Amino acid sequence: MRSGKWSAVALGILMIFSAGNVLAQPVEIHWWHAMRSARGEVCNAIIKKFNESQDKYRVIGTNKGNYDETVNAGIAAIRARKHPHLLQSFEVGTQTMMLSGAVYPVYQLMKDEGYEIDWTDYLQPVLSYYMDKDGNLMSMPFNSSTPVMYYNADMFRKAGIALLSKEAPVTWDELGEMLTKVIGAGAPGGMVTAWQSWTQVENYCAIHNLPFATKANGYEGLDCELAINNAPEINHITRLRS
């Protein structure tokens, strides 16, 4: 392994391998991650299962806060040369890690260690989050998010809408019509979303095959600009405001 290099696994996990001499006892691998609550329990279960499956390595997982906090903790640690072996970074941090010079790219790690991986087994849109402009995988996908809509069935029924899962709205216009009825029936508001720039801008552009930024969404150069000031996106934001 390369000493002092972050090996990139991604929301990635950015892995930083700096293995010392092999000792008789299991080699400890420290993993800093951003998984808390239910996701943290899943991480702990994965770690426990791996540790119990063999006796050569022992993974020690540590939650370092949310995604931003974990990446910032990792950056501070690499500067202080007190970094973990593995670091989880969300896709937003991919470029920062790529330009840092501190990461050990996953595609290079796998090649150097003789692993043959069929990348077609992975969801290609997810892989693309963590690739460089030449299609090389910089970090290994670990968990990836997708927007999920929750609705209050009682409020919908009060508005005269007996909504079954198969009848859930599939367009923003359909959702708008239903929410107008829900608000008219006394609901204090229609809807709210988290991570607005991701759910309402980036995802909207992707679904409608609209550019999010110039230079092929940034893949062709760092001097790119946001390209969201277009009619469909403006109409969508206007619709949300109404």
Q: For 81-101, how does the pLDDT look when each residue is reduced to its tens digit (9 = 90+)? A: 999 999 998 888 888 888 888
The domain tally of the chain equals: 2
Q: For 45-88, how does the pLDDT look when each residue is reduced to its tens digit (9 = 90+)? A: 999 999 999 999 999 999 999 999 999 999 999 989 999 999 99
Are 11 and 131 found together in one domain? yes
Residue 17: pLDDT band by 50, 70, 90 thresholds? low
Q: For 163-174, how does the pLDDT look when each residue is reduced to its tens digit (9 = 90+)? A: 776 678 888 999
- Identify the CATH number of the domain in which residue 40 sits: 3.40.190.10
Are 32 and 101 found together in one domain? yes
* Closest to 139 (Cα-Cα) out of 72, 62, 101, 87: 87
Which residues form the domain of 211? 153-241
Select from 141, 165, 187 the last residue of a domain.
141
Are 39 and 120 found together in one domain? yes
pLDDT surpassing 60 at residue 10 = no
Are 106 and 188 found together in one domain? no
